[in-house]
Structure 1
Amino acid sequence: MLSDLSHAFSSVKRGLNFIDHTSDLGWKEGQRIEPIVVDPGLYLARRTQIFHATEKRPVPNAFKVFTGSPWVILSRSFLEFCVFGWDNISRTLLMYFTNAVLSQEVYFQSVICNSPEFKNTTVNSDLRYFVWDSPPKMEPHFLNTSDYEKMVQSGAAFARQFEKDNPVLDMIDKKILNRNRNQVVPGAWCASPKSWLKDNCSRWGDVNVVRPGSEVKKLEEVIKKLNDDLKSNSKTCS
C-alpha cells in the first residue's frame, strides 16, 4: 500500500494539501463552533467527558471559519507554517479552537483558508471511501463484504469504518494487499525467496524500491481528476 501511495503521489506537486473543507457551517455553527468547551483529554492520559460552559460565543468576524473532514494529508511547508507561526493566524486559531468541540474538524481547514500563502494549495478531498446511512447518523455505517466492489472501484486510498475482524478486511488483505495472515504487506523490498513455508519478507532488500500494486491505476485516476479540478479553479477555498 505504501508503494501504491508513493507511486500515485509522485505526479503531484509537493506543496499541495489534501484537505476536505467548506465554509458552509450549517448545523455545526450552533453545535460545534459557538459552544465553549474544555476537553480534559488534552491534558489527561485517560479519556473523560467534555465540560461545557453555560454560555456560547458568536462566530468570529476576524477570520472565516471553515470545517470539513478531520482526516487530512498536509504538505511539509504548510505544517511548518502551523508550527512556527510566522504569520500569527495559526497561533490565533489554535487558541480559539482549543475550546471548540471536535477542533480537528475546523483547525487546519480554517488556518489554510485564511492564509494567503496557502489557501490556493488545497485539494478538496480526504481520499476516503465511506457510506452514510439514510437518514445519516453521526458516523458512516460499518463497511462489510457487500460494500467491497464499490469501495475498490472508487479508487479511494482509505476507507472507514470497519468492525474488528470483519470479513471485508480479509478480502482487502488477500485481493488488494496480497498479505497472508500474520504477515506484513509484501513489497519490492522483500528479499527472501518466495515460499509457501516461509515469509518472503523475513529478509529485507532495498527499502527504497517502489513497485505499485494492481489497484494503483484507480487511485492514480482519482488523484489526476482532483489535480485537474485544482488547475481549472484558481480559488480553492470558498
Structure 2
Amino acid sequence: MLMGITKCMISFILTFVTLFLLSLIPFSLSPPPLTLAGKGLAHSNSTSTLPKFAYLISGSKGDLQRLKRTLRALYHPLNFYLLHLDLEAPTHEREKLAEHISKDPVFAEVRNVEVVEKANLVTYRGPTMLANTLHAISRLLRTANWDWFINLSASDYPLLTQDDLIHAFSKLPRDLNFIQHTSSLGWKFNKRAKPIVIDPGLYKVKKSEIIWTSQQREIPTAFKLFTGSAWVMLSRAFAEYCILGYENLPRTTLLYYTNFISSPEGYFQTVICNSHGFKNTTVNHDLHYIAWDNPPKQHPIALTNLDYRRMVKSYAPFARKFRRNEPVLDRIDRDLLKRKANQFPYGGWCAMDEDGNKPCSEFRGKILVKPGFGSRRLRALLTRALSKRNMGRRQCK
C-alpha cells in the first residue's frame, strides 16, 4: 500500500511540474510577423503603426489578364496578396500567373504576392466559394502579419490608391469589421434559407451545378440568421475566431451553411452577429459600389462610363462588376489612380513624380504614404458609417 501511495505522489509531482512548465510557454493566436524583403522595408517603426491589408483576389477560366491588372491597381508593399485561379482555369494560366509574379522586379524584391498552387474547385452559389475564402484566410494568418482581410474578384477594381486606403484607415480601431448585414431575409427566406442544396464541388474535380433536394428545412433556433454582401473586410481578430474557433459557433454555423444557397452572403454575417464578443464591432457596409436592377437580379449590372460619376460620388474604395477590358477602367486608372498601362498607381513608396512623368514601376526602398482626394472621400464615408446613429441602429438588427 505504501508503494502505491509513493507512485501516486510521484505521478502527481511530475504532472504538476509538466503543467507548470507548459504555463511558461508564450501562446498567441497570431503567427510571428512576416518580414518583407526589400531595401530596408522590414516593417520598421516608421511603418509598424500603419494598417496592413491582406487581399484574396479570385478568378476563374479566362481571368488571367484582368487578375494581373487588378493586382497592379491594388498593389502596395505594406500589404499582402493571395491570388487564386480556380480549378476550372487551365494549368497554364496559373503557371503564367506565377511566372509573372516571380519575374516582376517589385514583386520579387518585396515578396508579398503569392499564387495558390493547388487550386480549389469553386461552384457558383455553392459553399465551395466560402471554403475557398476560409482557406485563404487560414493561409494568410499563418504567413503574414496584417490588420484587415479583404476578398475581391478579378471583376472588382479599386476607386482609390492604396495610400488613400492606408491613410483613411490609419486612425480607426483595428477590431472593426465591415460586413453588410441584415436579419430581414425578405425573399431570401423561401429562396435561400429553406431549400437544401448539395454542392458537387465538395467531392468532384469537375465543376457542375448545385443539386436541389426535394425537402426543405425550418429556420434555425440555435442562432439567428443574417444575410448581406459576400464582399467583406474582416479584422484579424475576427478572422482568427472564424478559423481557430475557440467557441463552437463558427464550426456549427459553417456546417449549417454547407447546404445553403449562396453561403458567402450569410456565413460571416450570421457568425459575427451571434457572437457576443464581436457583434459590436460590425460596420454595416461592404465598402463597394454595386449597381443592381430593380428588382435585383442574380447578378449586378456591369459598370460602364455611364456609372463613373455615381461610383466616385459613392465614396466607396471598390466597385464591381466590370467586364473584361471595360473602357471605364482606363478612366479610373487615369483620373483616380494616376496609373499608366502596366504600371502601379501613384504612391509614396515608388519612384515617380506627381505629374506622372516618371511611371510608378520601381520600389524606392522606404514607405511614404501620400494620400490624395480618394482618402478624403473614403474618410467621409467612414465618418458617416461609424456615426453613433448608424452604429447603434444598424448593428446586427
* TM-score between both structures, scaled by the size of structure 2: 0.56
Match of 2:302 among 96, 119, 142: 142
- CA distance 1:221–1:57, shift in 2 (3 Å): same
2:386 aligns to what? Answer: 227
Q: Is the 8 A contact 1:90 1:111 kept in 2?
A: yes
1:209 aligns to what? Answer: 368
- CA distance 1:43–1:229, shift in 2 (3 Å): farther
Distance across 1 between alignment mates of 2:356 and 2:393: 53
> 3-state DSSP class of the match of 1:191?
coil
Q: Is the 8 A contact 1:21 1:124 kept in 2?
A: yes
Distance across 1 between alignment mates of 2:354 and 2:372: 17
Match of 1:132 among 292, 311, 315: 292
- CA distance 1:193–1:4, shift in 2 (3 Å): closer
- CA distance 1:48–1:86, shift in 2 (3 Å): same
Match of 2:260 among 100, 108, 111: 100
Q: Is the 8 A contact 2:316 2:378 kept in 1?
A: yes
- CA distance 1:194–1:210, shift in 2 (3 Å): closer
> 3-state DSSP class of the match of 2:185?
coil
Task: Please list every run of 5 or more consecutive structure 1 residues that lacks an aligned counterpart in the other structure.
Answer: none
1:218 aligns to 2:377 (yes or no): yes
1:174 aligns to 2:337 (yes or no): no
Q: Is the 8 A contact 1:192 1:204 kept in 2?
A: no
> 3-state DSSP class of the match of 1:215?
helix
User: Deviation at 1:186?
Assistant: 2.8
User: Deviation at 1:43?
Assistant: 4.2
Q: Deviation per CA, 1:62-114, whole angstroms, max 9, x where unpaired?
A: 11000000001010111111111111111100111011111101100000000
Distance across 2 between alignment mates of 1:138 and 1:193: 43
Distance across 1 between alignment mates of 2:284 and 2:351: 39
1:50 aligns to 2:207 (yes or no): no
1:159 aligns to what? Answer: 319
- CA distance 1:9–1:196, shift in 2 (3 Å): closer
Higher mean C-alpha deviation, range 104-113 or range 24-33: 24-33
2:178 aligns to what? Answer: 18
User: Deviation at 1:194?
Assistant: 8.4
Distance across 1 between alignment mates of 2:292 and 2:390: 30
Q: Is the 8 A contact 2:339 2:346 kept in 1?
A: yes
> 3-state DSSP class of the match of 2:344?
coil
RMSD: 2.1
Paired positions, count: 237
1:237 aligns to 2:396 (yes or no): yes
From the two aligned structures, give the one with the greater helix fraction.
Answer: 2
1:80 aligns to 2:243 (yes or no): no
Distance across 2 between alignment mates of 1:164 and 1:90: 36
In terms of Rg, which structure is larger?
Answer: 2
Distance across 2 between alignment mates of 1:235 and 1:196: 42
1:64 aligns to 2:224 (yes or no): yes
Distance across 2 between alignment mates of 1:128 and 1:78: 20
Percent pairwise identity: 47
Q: Is the 8 A contact 1:120 1:235 kept in 2?
A: no
User: Deviation at 1:29?
Assistant: 1.5
Higher mean C-alpha deviation, range 102-111 or range 29-38: 29-38
User: Deviation at 1:170?
Assistant: 0.8
User: Deviation at 1:42?
Assistant: 3.7
Distance across 2 between alignment mates of 1:180 and 1:227: 34
From the two aligned structures, give the one with the greater strand fraction.
Answer: 2
Higher mean C-alpha deviation, range 130-139 or range 92-101: 130-139
Q: Is the 8 A contact 1:133 1:141 kept in 2?
A: yes
